[in-house]
Structure 1
Amino acid sequence: MTGEYTCGRCLQVLRQGIASYSRPALRAPNAVNSRRTGHRSLTSLTRRTPPRTPPPSKFSTRVPLSPIVQKANSATRSSRALLKPNNLFHKFSGSPAPAIRQRAAFIKQNAFCPHPSHQQTRMPVSPHDPESRKSAAVSGSSAPPAHSHFECPDCGIPVYCSEEHWMDDYEAHLEVCETLRQINEDDHDLHSGRFFPEFSYPGPQDENFVINMTNWDTFMYSREFEAINDDRSMRQVTRMLTYPITIGSVLHELSPYSIRKDSRLTSEGLKSISALRYSLHPPRTGEGADIQGLRIKAPPVRIFILGARAESSLPRDVWLQLSHIFPRSLINLIFIGPESMANRDEEFPLPERTAENPFGGIVEDRLGGQMKITTYVDYFHTMYKAQYFQPFDPYLDCVVLFHPGLGHPASSHEWEETLPLLLETKVPIITTGYTQWDMERDINWVREKCTGEFDILLEPGENLFRSLRWDLNDLDPHDVSCGNWGLWAFRGRRYEATHKDS
């Protein structure tokens, strides 16, 4: 029995047993392990002698065993954590994590050098796009496009084609270098192998406790999250919680968005949001768990998440936080989009489309007893024309678009048929954006396509519950953004007819 081939927990208990008892050392840890795990002890598996039989003499003293225990424990501790908190910065190509090295190879193969001396590889999508600094005309004086192979020593990410271009354009790179280094360390933290206590979410809460939705800190404190004293851990946990909490921050009765002077909710927004808040905060009826406590409940509130991508694959404990915010209401999350089953390969193949399930919906029921999640790998306008979800009720229905790219040149054509149908539902449409420019581009596109046919419910601005972690675009390392940075809402305009006296 050597330390290299023994469980570290067993060796730790073995060492404590040797230090505490003068009896044979193997008896105490075996008894402890058998009580804790309910399995047969180590002695009963290896030898059929009675438990009182002393073990070999080499285990009867403490001195010969301590070097083995120390060596095994140190090996166990080193294998649990790949990287330490003070050793998270590594160049992507030399990262100890294979996934990050693979990502570095992808960036070097697809990203182009942003130096102004190169020719343009595509049309700029915004004034902040590095491609806008390049020469649009192909001439002999402009260098051909080159891939980013040189890794900045300060941020560790491939950003330029050579060290010369990096030094020449260093002033422009400084604008995002510190953010890129933070992204580098956050990515290595996810692959460090450490235990993540910040991903342990609280369960249902006493209804007498009031949730404070002023900001992330007050929300986590009032929801009784475990204390997070590290900025990096805060960035990691908000990266996933931003999706359900963004919805809850708009629909909650104590929402930070109201019609006060410093808030952004409009008068039309107050009408629509108040209807949903009425359904999400029903009056107490004395409902209980026994038969006498059975009460008639209102229909579930349907939240349609269109163009779902990464948010549909989030752990269900994350989405259950939305149910804990509204404990007295039923919630039905409906993910719709051709990429709504991305990163969920273990659930393939998709169910067959039958008469009972014409669009192949995947139903996840009884999530906490108050929530149901349904996923459709299809387009909303196809299901809308089939009248699959009709009728829509402004008291029970809401549409959410996470980073839809309404005005993006590559995705705007996919929304041209969907947008008029969304306005016909007359339900609130909550929309987010990666950046200020991305959000304004979506608003301008909606105004261009549907001028005079919609009302702004929530003025555009920064989301109070945006992700605190920045993300990197692998096709353009200088393009950094964060999830749900911007937030705004709109709805199809309602025309109220009045009778004129004859």
Structure 2
Amino acid sequence: MSLLNTVAIRSQATVSSSRIVQCRPFSLLKGALSLLALNKTETPLETHKMYPWDESPYEDLRTRAAFIRTKARCPTTGKSVNFVCPYSGIPTHHSEEAWKEDRAYHENKTFELLKKVNLYEHDLRSGRKFDEFVFPGQQEMDCTPNMSSWDAFFYTRDFSPMNTEFNLAAASKVLTYPITVASVFHQFSPYQFQPQGTVTLEGLKSLAALRYTLYPPYTKNAETSTVFKDRAMRIFIVGAKMEAMLPGYVWKQFGYLFPDTKFEFHFIGPECYFDPATRQFGATDQPHGRALVQRFDEQITMHYHTAYFHELYEMGDLFPFDPYLDSFFLFHPGFTTADEIHWDKSLKGLLDSKCPIYVTGYHAKDAQREYNWLHKHPLAPEMDVLMEQTDNYFGSTKLDLVDINPTETFQANHNMFAVRGKRYHAIKK
């Protein structure tokens, strides 16, 4: 079963759950031997056979090419797309003449990016052995993960060597969601305080509260220590879709980085639940609109709320919110899309929670569009910026295609910023 099968803005993941195997024990010996991975050699793109999508041996890619021809418009003529770029194998223009006249397409070598998209998609369907999905287990206490980059993270967490860009693309596509969250929370986060970094003073305050929960002050006497973890830490993923389709053992990679804390992942949105029986997105079978709860282990539970956030907020099911225990992540929310009316209704509740809200975008332009929408909203005066827009160190390296605009590529979670409802300090009179 594929992780996702959608078109247009949403990326398409084709890694089947049968190809992702369960965790293996962490091995210091294996980690030492994998030093060779630091001198990895890229597999040339030319060694991978490239098929035009119209002639692909995989039916879903042929269907995707047909969708592009039906919905996309030529960037030079505005007419329907009928011509397949000979360099990338993807339908891009109305005719060969239109393709030749598109100076920006050729000067920017856009076809090279599209060729990578083509090769990545065929690689995921090739049936090769996906060693990059052999995930490591619990890390030993004397080993510290490095959160500065994908390469450093994979090496210090003892993942199989990512010897080619195809290995890295496949692994990062799956892990970008849990590791993006982890990179923000971790004590060795790559996101630094201003002016060296992009985290604002208010952002530092929010992170300090969350890290107090994740890394409580040390005390020798357990009887005298302050117990404040009266419940699990909750991570709300609003507008969830692909991220909600990831199996529990993918999210467990997040849990391994914080072994002493229990977590609840709350996926919220009408398409947050993918029914494997019907192979469709839809509501759960829980009575009275309750969340479907799936327990992975003692540390990780996943809650699926097939409703909009403002509906759950109005019902009061998620109260109370606690800045020490709760946070929100909006992965490519699409504030200006057809869902704008729902985001407009949800924003007040998100800000009223006073918990940090992290937003990602497919690229810098997309993230800037989301940022501008928030700051032009009537509730903007009630908002503090926690993190200025920045590249995400753990964005997906896999290039994907916007099917309704097949000359545009993107990468999941490429950029990120954060906001929070404004907190007012008490004034003594």
TM-score by structure 2 length? 0.83
| Equivalent residue in structure 2 for 1:203, among 110, 126, 137 | 137
**Aligned residue number for residue 414 of structure 1:** 342
- Taking structure 1 as reference, are residues 296 and 473 closer, same or farther at Cα in structure 2, changes over 3 Å only? closer
SS of aligned partner of 1:499: coil
- Taking structure 1 as reference, are residues 330 and 182 closer, same or farther at Cα in structure 2, changes over 3 Å only? same
| 1:274 CA drift (Å) | 0.9
SS of aligned partner of 1:255: coil
| 1:362 CA drift (Å) | 1.1
Q: What are the within-5 Å matches in structure 2 for residues 4-83 of structure 1? A: none
Q: What are the within-5 Å matches in structure 2 for residues 219-238 of structure 1? A: 219-238=153-172
Matched, 1:169 2:102: yes
**Aligned residue number for residue 434 of structure 1:** 362
Aligned AA (2:256): H
| Equivalent residue in structure 1 for 2:325, among 396, 401, 404 | 396
Matched, 1:341 2:273: yes
**Aligned residue number for residue 469 of structure 1:** 398
| Equivalent residue in structure 1 for 2:66, among 93, 105, 115 | 105
- Taking structure 1 as reference, are residues 396 and 171 closer, same or farther at Cα in structure 2, changes over 3 Å only? closer
SS of aligned partner of 1:329: coil
> Structure 1, residues 218-245: CA drift from partner, whole Å, max 9, x if none?
1111111111111111111101111001
Q: Please identify, of 313-322 and 488-497, the stretch whose mean Cα deviation from structure 2 is larger.
A: 313-322
> Structure 1, residues 28-84: CA drift from partner, whole Å, max 9, x if none?
xxxxxxxxxxxxxxxxxxxxxxxxxxxxxxxxxxxxxxxxxxxxxxxxxxxxxxxx9
- Give the whole-Å Cα distance in 2 for the aligned partners of 1:476 and 1:165: 15
Task: Answer yes or no: is the 8 Å Cα contact 2:332–2:361 preserved in 1.
Answer: yes
- Taking structure 1 as reference, are residues 364 and 346 closer, same or farther at Cα in structure 2, changes over 3 Å only? farther
> Structure 1, residues 7-45: CA drift from partner, whole Å, max 9, x if none?
xxxxxxxxxxxxxxxxxxxxxxxxxxxxxxxxxxxxxxx
**Aligned residue number for residue 360 of structure 1:** 290
Task: Answer yes or no: is the 8 Å Cα contact 1:281–1:329 preserved in 2.
Answer: no
| Equivalent residue in structure 1 for 2:92, among 152, 156, 159 | 159
| 1:284 CA drift (Å) | 6.9
Q: What are the within-5 Å matches in structure 2 for residues 283-362 of structure 1? A: 298-342=230-274, 344-346=276-278, 351-354=284-287, 358-362=288-292
Task: Answer yes or no: is the 8 Å Cα contact 2:105–2:111 preserved in 1.
Answer: no
- Taking structure 1 as reference, are residues 343 and 352 closer, same or farther at Cα in structure 2, changes over 3 Å only? closer
Task: Answer yes or no: is the 8 Å Cα contact 2:178–2:250 preserved in 1.
Answer: yes
- Taking structure 1 as reference, are residues 448 and 170 closer, same or farther at Cα in structure 2, changes over 3 Å only? closer
Task: Answer yes or no: is the 8 Å Cα contact 2:354–2:422 preserved in 1.
Answer: yes
| 1:276 CA drift (Å) | 0.6
Aligned AA (1:268): E
- Give the whole-Å Cα distance in 1 for the aligned partners of 2:205 and 2:397: 31
Aligned AA (2:323): P
- Give the whole-Å Cα distance in 1 for the aligned partners of 2:104 and 2:427: 62
Task: Answer yes or no: is the 8 Å Cα contact 1:202–1:225 preserved in 2.
Answer: yes
- Taking structure 1 as reference, are residues 400 and 261 closer, same or farther at Cα in structure 2, changes over 3 Å only? same
Matched, 1:456 2:385: yes
Aligned AA (2:355): V
Aligned AA (1:158): P
- The count of residues paired between Structure 1 and Structure 2 equals 377
| 1:281 CA drift (Å) | 2.3
- Taking structure 1 as reference, are residues 315 and 351 closer, same or farther at Cα in structure 2, changes over 3 Å only? closer
Aligned AA (1:334): H
| 1:487 CA drift (Å) | 0.7
**Aligned residue number for residue 148 of structure 1:** 81
SS of aligned partner of 1:262: coil
SS of aligned partner of 1:477: coil
- Give the whole-Å Cα distance in 2 for the aligned partners of 1:390 and 1:274: 22
Matched, 1:445 2:378: no
Unaligned runs of 5+ in 1: 1-83, 119-144, 287-294
| Equivalent residue in structure 2 for 1:96, among 53, 57, 60 | 57
- Taking structure 1 as reference, are residues 368 and 173 closer, same or farther at Cα in structure 2, changes over 3 Å only? farther
Task: Answer yes or no: is the 8 Å Cα contact 1:258–1:270 preserved in 2.
Answer: no
- Give the whole-Å Cα distance in 2 for the aligned partners of 1:256 and 1:171: 35
Identical aligned residues as a percent = 39
Larger radius of gyration: 1
SS of aligned partner of 1:399: strand
SS of aligned partner of 1:491: strand
When the two chains are superposed, the root-mean-square deviation of aligned CA atoms in Å is 2.2
| 1:411 CA drift (Å) | 2.7
| Equivalent residue in structure 1 for 2:189, among 241, 251, 255 | 255
> Structure 1, residues 231-271: CA drift from partner, whole Å, max 9, x if none?
11111110111100100000111111121532111111111
**Aligned residue number for residue 47 of structure 2:** 86
- Taking structure 1 as reference, are residues 152 and 399 closer, same or farther at Cα in structure 2, changes over 3 Å only? same
- Give the whole-Å Cα distance in 2 for the aligned partners of 1:178 and 1:413: 37
Unaligned runs of 5+ in 2: 1-44, 221-226
Task: Answer yes or no: is the 8 Å Cα contact 1:310–1:342 preserved in 2.
Answer: no
> Structure 1, residues 376-432: CA drift from partner, whole Å, max 9, x if none?
1001111111111111011000011000012x2433222111001110000000110
- Taking structure 1 as reference, are residues 351 and 94 closer, same or farther at Cα in structure 2, changes over 3 Å only? closer
- Give the whole-Å Cα distance in 1 for the aligned partners of 2:96 and 2:412: 32
Task: Answer yes or no: is the 8 Å Cα contact 1:350–1:360 preserved in 2.
Answer: no
Aligned AA (2:155): Y
| 1:88 CA drift (Å) | 2.7
Higher relative contact order (CA 8 A, sep 6+): 2
> Structure 1, residues 187-229: CA drift from partner, whole Å, max 9, x if none?
0101111111111111111122111101111111111111111
Task: Answer yes or no: is the 8 Å Cα contact 2:286–2:292 preserved in 1.
Answer: no
TM-score by structure 1 length? 0.71
- Taking structure 1 as reference, are residues 153 and 220 closer, same or farther at Cα in structure 2, changes over 3 Å only? same
Task: Answer yes or no: is the 8 Å Cα contact 2:53–2:89 preserved in 1.
Answer: yes
Aligned AA (2:293): V
- Taking structure 1 as reference, are residues 466 and 396 closer, same or farther at Cα in structure 2, changes over 3 Å only? same
| 1:315 CA drift (Å) | 2.4
SS of aligned partner of 1:476: coil
**Aligned residue number for residue 482 of structure 1:** 411
- Give the whole-Å Cα distance in 2 for the aligned partners of 1:418 and 1:91: 42
Aligned AA (2:273): M
